[in-house]
Amino acid sequence: KAGVTQTPRYLIKTRGQQVTLSCSPISGHRSVSWYQQTPGQGLQFLFEYFSETQRNKGNFPGRFSGRQFSNSRSEMNVSTLELGDSALYLCASSPQLTQQETQYFGPGTRLLVL
Amino acid sequence: GQQLNQSPQSMFIQEGEDVSMNCTSSSIFNTWLWYKQDPGEGPVLLIALYKAGELTSNGRLTAQFGITRKDSFLNISASIPSDVGIYFCAGPVWGKLIFGQGTELSVKP
């Protein structure tokens, strides 16, 4: 069974631009969660999607948004990029909503904002 | 908001040594999770704990759910070079998973 895949793996953007990251969950998994990982703040929950609806949200500004498609694939978007948005963005999928112990993480997309 | 305080932040040990790390919170948790993250990869779940006092093993790894429900411990016995990585504790809070700051483990052959 293929794992969680994230594209692209690396990305360089400049301040003010916007970026879209993609996540394909494990086949059969219906929940997708997104996390931001930085050296200073560690791993922080962004949001969780299930059945194409955002079910839970972390404490991030509205510049961070996401969506989920009918095939459970998910995208997250960051608009008006700031230097502090440089981070590893991790996607995790699980079979059902809020099943953290059955959550599998992808390798992440490393975003550098210049 | 709730925070998980993980210690130590880093450890440098000799191959074969045992390792202990812990995670504490000011609030009660009903579930404790321990993850390992290798460079360039996402975290991988090592052990899940669901009951106060529970002791669970996964090979050379043993984790315990503290009696107070405010802490958890992870022990690695007889460390080997592939144990290198960052270890995180985590717990769910209102459906959101919060993580400790991680313990970076280095193993000298």
In tens, the pLDDT along B83-95 reads 999 999 999 888 8
What lies within 8 Å, CB to CB, of A51 at 6+ separation is A30, A68
Best B2, B38, B97, B98 member to test A by mutation, with max A CBs in 10 Å, is: B97
pLDDT at B18: 97
pLDDT band with cut points at 50, 70 and 90 for residue A71: very high
> Rounded mean pLDDT of A44-68?
95
**Residue B20 C-alpha, separation from nearest chain A C-alpha, in angstroms:** 21
Over 70: is that where the pLDDT of A1 sits? no
Looking at the partner chain, which of A58, A104, A105 has a beta carbon nearest the beta carbon of B96?
A58
Spatial contact of B99 and B2, defined as CB atoms under 8 Å apart: no
Quick check: A108 contacting B, CB < 8 Å?
A: yes
pLDDT at B9: 95
pLDDT at B51: 95
Question: How does the average pLDDT of chain A come out, rounded?
Answer: 94
Measured distance CA(B64)–CA(B50) in Å, rounded: 10
Q: Which amino acid is at B41?
A: E
R_g over Cα of chain B: 13
In tens, the pLDDT along B52-83 reads 999 999 999 999 999 999 999 999 999 999 99
DSSP count for chain B of H helices, then E strands: 0, 11
- Do the Cβ atoms of B42 and A105 come within 8 Å? yes
pLDDT at B107: 94
Q: Which residue, chain included where needed, has tokens 């502090």?
A: A84
Question: How does the average pLDDT of chain B come out, rounded?
Answer: 94
The proportion of chain B whose per-residue pLDDT surpasses 70, expressed as a percent, equals 98
pLDDT at A15: 98
pLDDT at B1: 60
pLDDT band with cut points at 50, 70 and 90 for residue B23: very high
Looking at the partner chain, which of B33, B88, B101 has a beta carbon nearest the beta carbon of A100?
B33
Over 70: is that where the pLDDT of A19 sits? yes
